[in-house]
Amino acid sequence: MRDNGSAARDLRSRDDKPVRAERDARLLRADGDEKPSRAEAEAAVRTLLRWAGDDPDREGLLDTPSRVTRGYEEWFSGYATDPVSMLERTFEETDGYDEIVLLRDIRLESTCEHHMAPILGRVHVGYLPHRRVVGISKLARVVEAYARRLQIQEKLTAQIANTIQDVLRPRGVAVVIEAAHQCMTTRGVHKPGVTMVTSRMLGAFRDNPATRRELLAMINNRGTTIHSE
């Protein structure tokens, strides 16, 4: 029969999986195959320009390979960022505050991993503190770290929520993303104006319908005054 200590270690092991997964992924990126050089990346862009039917040596395209690689450094900077470390500095002087903390309308700029087309929208991040809070800019930075990678919206939603839950250990985490996918609006079925909504509810937001309703009401509350009961 297993002792309580072994069971507790197993529970911590299961709870820490997303944190360990992010750190393992960071190590793999550092220790894996050598990253192509900038010259190789620019040569690949020139190949794509030729494949598209244009001349990479014409005046208007001469600097395009360099511009594209610089753009990639910004659009995919999340691969070089550790979102876990962003949440490790917290504050315990909260005077017992334990209600919802919501950061609403975080601008989302990501890239579809299937077509490498933009995903544009907004992210709402909420959590119920348990004895400590984190600087609100850190929540936005976690969103940015995961968004600036090749993504699908469902995975992005889960990654943000799981990381906040695993590092802060709050009583609950909620992440809602509303976004338009250019792979659907500018190609394929060509359906502009379509928005995809995904959510990830953990802890109290999953288990307590009243708490979840309160959060969704706060997200949807636009331009009105909040009155206490």
Residues designated catalytic: 112-115, 153, 181, 183
Q: What is the SS3 assignment for 29-88?
A: HHHCCCCCCHHHHHHHHHHHHHHHCCCCCCHHHCCHHHHHHHHHHHHCHHHHCCHHHHCC
Tokens of 184: 């659907």
Instruction: Give the number of other Cβ atoms within 10 Å of residue 161's Cβ.
Output: 26
Tokens of 197: 């909504």
Beta pairing class for 133-134 and 101-112: unpaired
> CA-to-CA distance for 14 and 10, rounded, in angstroms?
6
